[in-house]
């Protein structure tokens, strides 16, 4: 794959075709640069003293890892300096980040989870970065939280990066999904997974089974069917996976199919769910739908939710179309 198309070439071609503008190309290039820095930090880990807890909490009340803070700072700095965004919002920051006075503003907003799955970092399991691109309001120097309150259907682009055995950037700009692997020998992302599609059928699901006693009936019904295997009404055996890193779960589904579920349960009902709409659910839903899958809360399509607050949480069920449709139908039945 040494002659594979570079990300810079890919973006330039889309710009020449009039599908994206120069600011968008610059923004995605900045995102890629930020992820290269994070990949380096993740790869060196304890060699430079970056593993372990930072002994602080983010706005969600979650204990932050040292790499959570460092990844957020590096990603934010690069996007600020690039001049292609008017405002930023991160899972690790309490409020919308206003660019410093004098910094050039661009036509986009960017939301991101700089280090998804960071609870796994100390045990060397795949973690990642998730991002979403929205249109910024015109003529407004410092966009407010209200300006970010756009449904997932309004996203201009979405993507994630996995930091595992290889570093892979997966991107959609609304016309399919493509994956790029970081060639460490030259420091370039290269197109290695063009036109990624999710198989419509699957025999694999991912869910935290320890929460089974808290689930609503439709999810329990579906999982019980899977566990029954060939002896049940589905007449086939299912495999179960659970990594506790959304980027790892979604990437596996993009490559070979499957269903990822973090459903509503009695533990999280008051908060609305576990995963963040703006930083995780919306961008991953756009990617999954562009790859031919489905993404729902249970009763509703995630991408149509009208956001009410920056750190809003939602249930997430996504993956292979026919399996997610089955779960959706169970919710409609009540």
Q: Which of 163, 157, 314 is nearest to 247 (CA)?
A: 163
What residues does 6 pair with on adjacent strands?
190
Please give the annotated binding residues for Mg(2+), written as ranges.
91, 113, 115-116, 280
Alpha carbons 161 and 165: distance in angstroms, whole number: 12
Alpha carbons 303 and 292: distance in angstroms, whole number: 14
Please give the annotated binding residues for substrate, written as ranges.
116-119, 208, 274
Q: Which of 226, 224, 170 is nearest to 203 (CA)?
A: 226
Alpha carbons 285 and 157: distance in angstroms, whole number: 11
- HSE on the CB side for 333, CA within 13 Å? 12
What residues does 270 pair with on adjacent strands?
none
Angle of helix 217-228 versus helix 321-333 axis, rounded to 10: 130
Please give the annotated binding residues, written as ranges.
91, 113, 115-119, 208, 274, 280
Contacts of 275 (CB under 8 A, 6+ apart): 246, 262, 281, 313, 314, 315, 316
How open is the CA angle 285-288-291, to the nearest 5 degrees? 145
């Amino acid at each position: 794959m040494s002659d594979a198309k570079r990300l810079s070439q890919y973006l330039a071609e889309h710009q020449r075709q009039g599908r994206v503008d120069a600011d968008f190309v610059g923004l995605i290039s900045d995102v890629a640069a930020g992820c290269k820095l994070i990949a380096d930090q993740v790869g060196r880990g304890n060699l430079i003293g970056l593993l372990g807890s930072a002994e602080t909490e983010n706005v969600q009340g979650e204990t932050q890892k040292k790499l959570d803070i460092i990844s957020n700072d590096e990603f934010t700095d690069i996007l600020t300096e690039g001049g292609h965004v008017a405002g930023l919002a991160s899972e690790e920051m309490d409020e919308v980040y206003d660019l410093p006075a004098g910094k050039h503003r661009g036509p986009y907003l960017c939301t991101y989870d700089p280090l998804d799955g960071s609870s796994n970092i100390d045990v060397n399991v795949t973690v990642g970065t998730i991002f979403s691109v929205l249109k910024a309001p015109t003529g407004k120097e410092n966009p407010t939280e209200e300006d970010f309150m756009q449904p997932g259907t309004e996203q201009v682009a979405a993507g994630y990066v996995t930091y595992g055995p290889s570093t892979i950037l997966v991107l959609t700009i609304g016309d399919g999904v493509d994956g790029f692997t970081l060639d460490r020998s030259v420091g370039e992302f290269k197109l290695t997974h063009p036109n990624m599609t999710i198989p419509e059928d699957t025999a694999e699901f991912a869910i935290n089974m320890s929460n089974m006693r808290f689930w609503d009936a439709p999810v329990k019904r579906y999982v019980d069917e899977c566990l029954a295997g060939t002896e049940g009404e589905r007449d086939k055996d299912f495999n179960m996976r659970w990594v506790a890193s959304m980027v790892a779960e979604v990437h596996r589904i993009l490559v070979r199919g499957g269903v990822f579920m973090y459903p509503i349960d009695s533990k999280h009902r008051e908060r609305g769910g576990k995963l963040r709409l703006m930083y995780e659910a919306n961008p991953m839903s756009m990617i999954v739908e562009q790859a031919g899958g489905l993404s729902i809360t249970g009763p509703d399509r995630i991408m149509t939710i009208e956001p009410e607050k920056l750190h809003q949480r939602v249930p997430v069920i996504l993956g292979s179309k026919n399996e997610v449709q089955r779960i959706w139908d169970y919710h409609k039945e009540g």
